[in-house]
Amino acid sequence: MKTKETIISKITNTDADALIFAKAGEIIRGSGLVAFPTETVYGLGADALDANAAKGIYEAKGRPSDNPLIVHIGEKEDLYKLAENVPDKALALADAFWPGPLTIILPKKDVVPYSTTGGLDTVAIRMPSHPVALAFIRESKRYIAAPSANTSGRPSPTNAGHVAEDLNGRIDMIIDAGAVTIGLESTIVDLSEEHPLILRPGYITKDMLEAVIGTVDIDPGILSEKGRPKAPGMRYRHYAPKAPLTIICGDEEDVIGDIRNRCQDAKEKGKRVGVIATAQTCEKYDADVVKNIGDRNNNLSIATHLYDVLRFFDTTQVDVIYSEGFDDANLGQAIMNRLLKAAGHNVINLCEGDIS
The SS3 call for residue 207 is: helix
CB atoms within 10 A of CB 258: 18
Query: For Mg ion, which residue of 148, 192, 205, 337 counts as binding (CB under 5 A)?
Result: 148
Task: Give, in order, the Cα–Cα distances in Å from 309 to each of 82, 162, 316.
Answer: 37, 12, 11
How far is it, in rounded angstroms, from Cα 86 to Cα 320? 48
Q: Which is nearer to ligand TXA, 9 or 117 (CB)?
A: 117
Shortest distance, position 230 Cβ to ligand TXA, whole Å: 6
Query: For ligand TXA, which residue of 82, 83, 94, 124 counts as binding (CB under 6 A)?
Result: 124
Name residue 187's beta-bridge partners.
102
Size of the site for Mg ion (CB under 5 A): 1
The partner in contact with residue 40, picked from ligand TXA, Mg ion, none with C-beta cut-offs of 5 to 8 angstroms by kind, is ligand TXA
Shortest distance, position 2 Cβ to ligand TXA, whole Å: 23
- The single-letter code of the amino acid at 314 is D
Q: Which is nearer to ligand TXA, 57 or 273 (CB)?
A: 57
How far is it, in rounded angstroms, from Cα 203 to Cα 295? 17
Angle among Cα 4, 8, 14 to the nearest 5 degrees reads 150
The partner in contact with residue 145, picked from Mg ion, ligand TXA, none with C-beta cut-offs of 5 to 8 angstroms by kind, is none
How far is it, in rounded angstroms, from Cα 185 to Cα 267? 36
How far is it, in rounded angstroms, from Cα 218 to Cα 262? 34
How far is it, in rounded angstroms, from Cα 247 to Cα 302? 15
Q: Which is nearer to ligand TXA, 70 or 175 (CB)?
A: 70
129 binds ligand TXA (CB under 6 A): no
Q: Which stretch binds Mg ion (CB under 5 A): 148-156, 205-213, 241-249, 334-342?
A: 148-156
The SS3 call for residue 331 is: helix
Residues 78-117 that bind ligand TXA (CB under 6 A): 103, 105, 117
Shortest distance, position 274 Cβ to ligand TXA, whole Å: 26
Footprint on this chain of ligand TXA (rule: CB under 6 A): 38, 40-41, 43, 67-70, 103, 105, 117, 120, 122-124, 126, 128, 146-148, 185-186, 188, 199, 231-234
